Structure 1
């Protein structure tokens, strides 16, 4: 199964707008108690989340997993840092690449694969404001071309 396939739960749409994604990695995620039930219910938000390397391990920060409704006292802290599971070679590669100026590790999507929650993380370089404007212009031009093509086919 290729990376990023499975039952999609959440996606970070802002990531492609704010970063040039150069490489992606599939990582497992260490969860506590009722967190997997909340993820299966689709109650996760990646909007302002990021990954950070600490003592040779990668942690996911600011990913909001809502508390499970039937979890009562066994619920978890919604914004806690969660460890990501990667191979040692992948972690060392990310350490080397993310030390360069302007590179960040961004979670792109969360999905279920063979019953396990996986996070697709990307190594991204931040876009400047003019890059974002250029992308919007290209997207709009592509949309106009498709619209004109559809109108032409109707005739």
Structure 2
């Protein structure tokens, strides 16, 4: 059974591992090996744990986390949508996105935005997000990655 639950600070390492595995599996070809290694360097305690304080969620199967997602209210942004490789292509990412959009709608946001990785932009388009122009994402760690800024209106 699939369920989505609010993440706790103690979930930081698990969420970080899901992110690491998803990036290394899905982003091959979209980014260079050097970019991927830099993107996945470090540890949860290097700042990823702080994200657990936001609207950060885990998608779980039989109680085991297999996916992550976050709603950043300050920026009206959805992010950190990652699914473990063994659970991809099962609609889990869509369930996480839909859950976060519902939260955003319930909290009064009129639209949400995100910076899609090059390999994920088609997925987000299928979810109703709009955006075509490539840009550069500047991570807090100083890494620069090509992305596609996208937006979706939330009808109430």
Normalising by the smaller structure, the TM-score range is: under 0.3
TM-score normalised according to structure 2 size: 0.26
Higher RCO structure, 1 or 2 (CA under 8 Å, sep 6+): 1
Structure with the higher strand share, 1 or 2:
1
TM-score normalised according to structure 1 size: 0.26
